[in-house]
Amino acid sequence: MTVSYKQLGLVNSVDIFKKAVKGGYAIPGYNFSQMEQLQAVIQACVESESPVILQISSGARKYANQTLLRYMAQGAVEYAKELHKSHKAIPIVLHLDHGDTFELCKSCIDFGFSSVMIDGSHHPYDKNVELTKKVVEYAHSRPDYVSVEGELGVLAGVEDDVHAAEHIYTRPEEVQDFVKKTGVDSLAIAIGTSHGAYKFPPGAKPQIRLDILAEIEKKLPGFPIVLHGSSSVPQDYVDLVNKYGGKMPNAVGIPESQLREASKSSVCKINIDSDGRLVMTGTVREYFSRTLIISILVS
């Protein structure tokens, strides 16, 4: 059974990216796999009148079930209307994060996702182009036009099924050719962000390569750019995790000042996953620790 994302009240990313690039801001791409995360994201985005991209990794898709996730996204649309003071829906995109095969992307498109990422960055350049183009042709051939994100360059770090030992920065000289040959709607680049809660080595200055971003923007003026691995890793939540039995030494994220600077360019989506996990982990650890103490005192 094929489902159109429009039946679920969702939108693709094309129009909201155009507005973001023109307005000099970025839209949050939040990964989620459970109801509590989704509630928090929708509440915050309705409060701030922000569009939002709800992202599902391949690991989350396996864990939470693709069909359930689809209807959770539909529920998020209705929940947003309920929360909004004028009962209007904020633009909500349901996006596959780091799809690595055509079959996975096709399945998500057929199940009502309004956007997919095909990550061929682990392949040689020509193979990446070939795979990405195949996904684009299928996604764009649908009557509802599903948007597609491609990737050039490799981010270091580990997150779900995505892992790499070291950075491979995006080469500005390749971006025009890649976009022209594949027809992608947006491009994820590697400029020093990384997956997970350890973005930089201990003692290193947290710094992303805004110079590479500037070169890419010159090659692709006004084209939507995406930054993965962009959690800021708030230290108060790192401290909370460590206070209640966790061990996260030297956890550090991307400085928010640098993310804001990047957002003034063509960066129109900033992906956030580790921050959500960090908040959940710290809060759950604190709750169980306090509950255990109360239980001991009562008994």
Distance CA 155, CA 178 (A): 18
**97 noted as active-site residue:** yes
For the chain, the three-class secondary structure string (H helix, E strand, C coil) is CCCCHHHHCCCCCHHHHHHHHHHCCCEEEEECCCHHHHHHHHHHHHHCCCCEEEEEEHHHHHHHCHHHHHHHHHHHHHHHHHHCCCCCCCCEEEEEEEECCHHHHHHHHHCCCCEEEECCCCCCHHHHHHHHHHHHHHHHHCCCCCEEEEEECECCEEECCEEECCCECCCHHHHHHHHHHHCCCEEEECCCCCECCECCCCCCCCCCCHHHHHHHHHHCCCCCEEECCCCCCCHHHHHHHHHCCCCCCCCECCCHHHHHHHHCCCEEEEEECHHHHHHHHHHHHHHHHHHHHHHHHHC
* Residues 186, 225 contacting (CB under 8 angstroms): yes
Q: Which two tokens stand for residue 30?
A: 């939040």
**Among candidate residues 105, 115, 25, 34, the one with its CA nearest the CA of residue 76:** 34
Contacts of 237 (CB under 8 A, 6+ apart): 275, 278, 279, 282
Distance CA 178, CA 118 (A): 13
Catalytic residue among 15, 97, 144, 161: 97
Q: Show which residues are catalytic.
A: 97
